[in-house]
Amino acid sequence: MIYQSLNHSSRPVDFESAVLNGIASDRGLYFPSEIRILPKKIISEIKNLSTNEIAYHSIKNFIGKSIPKKNLITIIDKTIDFEFPLVDVGDDIYSLELFHGPTLAFKDVGARFMARSLEYFNRNSNSVLTVLVATSGDTGGAVADGFYDVPGIRVIILYPKGKVSEIQKVQMTSYGKNITTIEVDGDFDDCQKFVKNAFLDEQIKSNCKLTSANSINVARWLPQMFYYFFAYKNIHKYNYPIVFSVPSGNFGNLCAGLMAKRIGLPIDKFIACTNLNDSFPRYLDSGIFDPKKTIPTISNAMDVGNPSNFPRIQKIYNNDINKLKKDILGYRFNDNQTRKIIKKVYAEFNYILDPHGAIGYMGLKKYFKSHTKSTGIFLETAHPIKFAETIEKKLKIKVEIPKSIDFSKQTVSSKLMSNYDDLKSFLLQN
């Protein structure tokens, strides 16, 4: 499989080079040169396949010859060793719970798949590979866990000061060894900008073997297709069209879902749900992509003013907004609406939504008001405990802390940086 830059000014590469580079030299995102449709037999017999078999079939064409079949199966086996339950929340709406992995967030799959892919690619190298990643919340913990103690790889995680929850901060700062955290005096867009600048800095590139673990990296982005296939397998009735509601920040999840549809998964519609950081819904309304400064919300993992994966979504539809709008609707919701729906769903179904899943749920409810009968699935992207302060205050309950979160772990102090030059100096000195 060949990958090309969406800026079209750098040479094509294979999957391995795309993963190792992270971003193309012309600042473009990598995108596969062709999209191969799965055999119809895979979809028709999906209930007879294991989750690992489904994952293998959905991603193998995107890997090409970069990873042999035996090794790819091993990587998948080490990536997917937890459940992805589909929970009935009434009125033909289901919650696809993606928080049963080690760091209680959907990003565990992409982070683990990428970590094991990089470990394979770096197996014969004596040099250290630096993974540089920006996080608005859950990516940091997932990447720290996925890459912890992986030989030949060091990880540097940038997160915005005061804009991640306490649990999210604990999860990314309690590892040490090959994991370093940096607190940026700014928002997520600043963190992301630092990462992109580092990738294009010739002085850094000549001294560091650098890649990224954000969803800009194809090895983080593409495995997110798995969720949609797993959900489809677990649907009990196929009587109605399937609609996925995706709480969206950097739009990696939605983009992966669109790719799953492109390769043959029978999904009728997608709902792109955002908080007040609504660049994409505004684009659907006006046809103009006009990113604005990030607005802090209680659904902080979605606090992204300029989503990186937008160019990939455009590419899937060959920049034809009319075709795109046939498949995707965009809705925005504020914090007050989010709090109210958390309370309402708990009262009616005894089900606890996290703020991100709550936005996905609201997207389906809004869709159902004006569209024909469908089976609605929203992505519940993180365990409610990560947002305990918001949830407990609204529901007047105590959210049980999962055993996987250990507050007794010693945390490692993060370095504080306020500009790109600070990061550059740190990378060159280390």
pLDDT in tens, 43-63: 999 999 999 999 999 999 999
Percentage of the chain beyond pLDDT 70 is: 98
Biggest alpha carbon–alpha carbon distance for the chain: 60
Tell me which of 290 and 401 has the higher pLDDT: 290
SS3 at position 293? coil
pLDDT at residue 87 greater than cutoff 70 = yes
Give pLDDT, residue 126: 84
Quote the pLDDT of residue 236: 67
Provide mean pLDDT across the span 293-317: 93
Average pLDDT over residues 348-357: 96
Helix (H) or strand (E) holding 210: strand 209-212
Cβ burial 207-218 (10 Å sphere, 16+ → b, else e): ebebbbbbbbbb
The pLDDT of residue 372? 78
**Residue 407 confidence (pLDDT):** 62
Number of domains the chain is built from: 1
Q: Closest Cα partner for 98 from 378, 332, 399, 346? A: 378
Check pLDDT > 70 for residue 287: yes
- More confident of the two residues 27 and 367: 367
Residues of the chain with pLDDT > 90: what percent? 72
Give residue 41's pLDDT. Answer: 95
- Catalytic, 233? Answer no
Residue position matching structure tokens 């193309």: 24
Structure tokens at 266: 């029978």
pLDDT for the residue 170: 84
Q: Which helix (H) or strand (E) holds 259?
A: helix 252-262
Task: Assess whether pLDDT exceeds 90 at residue 423.
Answer: yes
Confidence grade of residue 320 (pLDDT, cut at 50, 70, 90): very high
Cα separation of 301 and 157, whole Å? 15
Q: What is the mean pLDDT of residues 274-295?
A: 95
The CA–CA distances, whole Å, from 425 to 130, 160, 212, 401 equal 15, 19, 18, 39
**Is 300 inside any structural domain?**
yes
Segment 218-232, tens digit of pLDDT: 999 999 999 999 999
pLDDT exceeds cutoff 90 at 325: yes
User: Do the Cβ atoms of 15 and 67 come closer than 8 Å?
Assistant: yes
Of the two residues 121 and 214, the one the predictor is more confident about is: 121
**What's the pLDDT score for residue 209?**
87
Residue 422 scores a pLDDT above 80: yes
CB-facing half-sphere around the CA of 267: CA atoms within 13 A: 32
As a whole number, mean pLDDT of residues 99-109 equals: 92
DSSP letter string over 80-129? --S---EEE-STTEEEEE---STTSBTHHHHHHHHHHHHHHHTTT--SPE
**pLDDT for position 416:** 87
Return mean pLDDT, the chain: 92
CA distances from 387 to 98, 292, 299 (A): 15, 25, 9
Closest CA to 87 of 101, 98, 72: 98
| 265 or 127: which leads in pLDDT | 265
pLDDT at 139: 83
**pLDDT on residue 34:** 94
Q: What is the CATH number of the domain that holds 87?
A: 3.40.50.1100
Average pLDDT over residues 191-216: 88
Domain membership flag for residue 28: no
pLDDT at position 237, please? 67
Give 170 or 257, the one with higher predicted confidence: 257
Residue 272 inside a domain? The answer is yes
Q: How far is CA 228 from CA 55, 149, 235, in A?
A: 10, 30, 11
pLDDT value of residue 240: 87
Give the model's pLDDT for residue 410. 67
Q: How many residues does the chain have?
A: 430
> Residue 70 falls within a domain, yes or no?
no
User: Residue 314 belongs to what H/E stretch?
Assistant: helix 310-316
- Mean pLDDT within 260-274: 97
Using alpha carbons only, give the angle 240, 242, 244 rounded to the nearest 5 degrees: 150
Q: Which domain holds residue 247?
A: 83-104+221-395
Decide if pLDDT at 411 tops 80.
Answer: no
Q: What is the pLDDT of residue 169?
A: 86
Q: In degrees to the nearest 10, what's the CA dihedral of 240, 235, 47, 84?
A: 150
Confirm whether 150 is domain-assigned: no
Alpha-carbon Rg of the chain, whole angstroms?
A: 20
Is 343 among the domain residues?
Answer: yes
Nearest to 21 by CA among 29, 346, 78, 58: 29
Catalytic entry in 60, 107, 315, 325: 107
Closest CA to 164 of 194, 138, 195, 198: 138
